[in-house]
Amino acid sequence: MWLRNKFVQRMGGGFFEQAGLDAWSKLQIASLSARKPTGEVKLLRKVRRERKCLNSAWECYNVMTLARAMIKLPGAFAEVGCYQGTTAKLICEVKGDKPLLLFDTFEGLPEDCDKDARVHRVGQYACSVEKVSGYLAGYEGVSYHKGLFPDSTDGVPEQQYAFVHFDVDLYEGTLACLEYFYPRMTPGGVMLSHDYGMLKGVEQAFHDFMEDKPEPIIPQATTQVMIIKQAPVAAAGDPAATDPAAQAAPVLR
């Protein structure tokens, strides 16, 4: 529970957060290297060395493996909240030919609200779009959408998503991500968010949004949380209720 302490959280973005996360991630990488393929462990170590990464090694591992699992489903990939591009790079490494849409203000965090623990600063975690696009220049199919989410979805074509990663730290941004992506998720697709087990606003946004939805909230052993989108349940009398092919078909709601 000490990670939920406001004093600890106010150190976010500073030397102590990074040093603590790096030390903790070294232990996590050591544990991963005992049981996971060498190539995966090397990639995690490399990405975490290249740039400042705000996800622990286990969290990075979850982003990478869930994204990789979702390439079987129809739909694009997206991330909201890229900072220096480390989790985005892990998604790029496994996404194959899927499009990846990256949303960020690229000017750091916006204003928080009274649902947040008031531990962040406006502009915290700023990194320019040029720095992130330079870092990811070798990957095909990556697009950048600068601005406050969800305003930055203006002009984005209507499409389905198979995997989306949220890492925006705040209540309003997380709620906006859920409102935008939930109806566009392919059945079976995954919405993964960082910081659910740590930041009050992120947790509250999930509880508020998912309250009247059928899918369970699935907290992870890390700070992350996952939602697996269900296929819409057909009403009795609807031909889709007895046609398995129609039920399995990805539908936009």
Ligand X SMILES: C[S@@+](CC[C@H](N)C(=O)[O-])C[C@H]1O[C@@H](n2cnc3c(N)ncnc32)[C@H](O)[C@@H]1O
Residues engaged in binding ligand X (CB under 6 A): 53-55, 81-83, 86-87, 103-105, 108-110, 125, 148-149, 167-170, 173
CB of 33 to ligand X, least distance (A): 21
Give the residue nearest to ligand X (CB).
Answer: 81
For ligand X, give the closer residue by CB, 150 or 188: 150
Other CB atoms within a 10 A radius of the CB of residue 30 amount to 11
The C-alpha atoms of residue 175 and residue 163 are separated, in whole angstroms, by 17
For ligand X, give the closer residue by CB, 3 or 248: 3
Cα-to-chain-centroid distance, residue 253: 21
CB of 60 to ligand X, least distance (A): 8
**Omega into 99 within 30° of 0, i.e. cis?**
no
CB of 121 to ligand X, least distance (A): 11
For ligand X, give the closer residue by CB, 129 or 246: 129
For ligand X, give the closer residue by CB, 23 or 248: 23
214 DSSP 8-state letter: S
For ligand X, give the closer residue by CB, 81 or 187: 81
The C-alpha atoms of residue 179 and residue 31 are separated, in whole angstroms, by 36
CB of 62 to ligand X, least distance (A): 12
What residues contact residue 48 under an 8 Å CB cut-off, 6+ apart? 22, 25, 29, 57, 60, 86
CB of 209 to ligand X, least distance (A): 15
Reading the block at residue 9, the tokens are: 């959280």
The C-alpha atoms of residue 130 and residue 147 are separated, in whole angstroms, by 14
